[in-house]
Amino acid sequence: MLYLVPTPLGNLKDVTYRSIEVLQSVDLILCEDTRTSSVFLNHYNIQKPLTPYHQHNEHKILQHLVEQLLAGKKMAVITDAGTPAISDPAFLLVRECVRNDIKVECLPGATAFVPALVNSGLPTNRFCFEGFLPLKKGRQTALKQLAEEERTMIFYESPMRLVKTLEDFIQYFGADRQCCVSRELTKMFEENKRGSLQEVCDHFKQKTVKGEIVLIVAGKEE
């Protein structure tokens, strides 16, 4: 049995009772960073074996994990924050579980793009999730295609690359396209900056950007 368990984005209270129960019941917890996850798990007095599971080792340990699951172990996958497999590891393991008839359950819970989208004031009836854009190869092609996208677009970005990405959006989407940058969601210094791409870009050029970033951009008007 494999469980995908969302973890809080920042505020440790943003977790379901069921998530805590599942984490207390499994044999092993797979996590991105044992130090980060230990803060959350210790807060709820969850004492379970932890195994690092991230983009650098997921291919190497995949078969070993599947073998343990087939042998009857119960595992949970968590990430540093949010729902596993959303711009984080888990897809490969879920796919192998499905292929091997291993039961998989994904619990509902925190996912950064949902509050950012709802909070943005941009249309929510139709949207597309793009995650992190390519850094180099394929970036220009992706931006050209997205310039014609009519649905609200959702991106993740690092604080170090936020301004560069906003400048790229201005180049390909136009300076007047509306957007919202959500930073440090659920945390003490949460910020939601709304306005045109140019206005928001100018705002973040004037400060040191920190924290997790979700970028919501309006689609092209029909």
Domain-terminating residue out of 72, 106, 140? 106
> Do 99 and 143 lie in a common domain?
no
C-alpha of 107 from chain center: 15
> Do 95 and 140 lie in a common domain?
no
Q: CA-CA distances (angstroms) from residue 201 to 35, 58, 159, 176, 181?
A: 34, 36, 12, 11, 10
CATH of the domain at 186: 3.30.950.10
Mean pLDDT for 122-135 is: 96
pLDDT in tens, 149-163: 999 999 999 999 999
Provide the whole-model pTM. Answer: 0.92
158 vs 131: CA distance, rounded Å: 11
> Do 128 and 76 lie in a common domain?
no
Domain-terminating residue out of 80, 106, 132? 106
pLDDT in tens, 43-60: 999 999 999 999 899 999
> Do 142 and 199 lie in a common domain?
yes
> Do 173 and 99 lie in a common domain?
no
The two three-digit tokens of residue 40, written as one number: 């959350």
Domain-terminating residue out of 84, 106, 128? 106
Residue 222 falls inside a structural domain: no
pLDDT of 222 reads 78
32 vs 88: CA distance, rounded Å: 9
Mean pLDDT for 124-149 is: 95
> Do 6 and 99 lie in a common domain?
yes
Tell me the β-bridge partners of 127. 152
> Do 73 and 148 lie in a common domain?
no
The parent domain of residue 62 ranges over 2-106
Q: Structural domain tally of the chain?
A: 2
How many H helices and E strands in the chain?
Answer: 8, 10
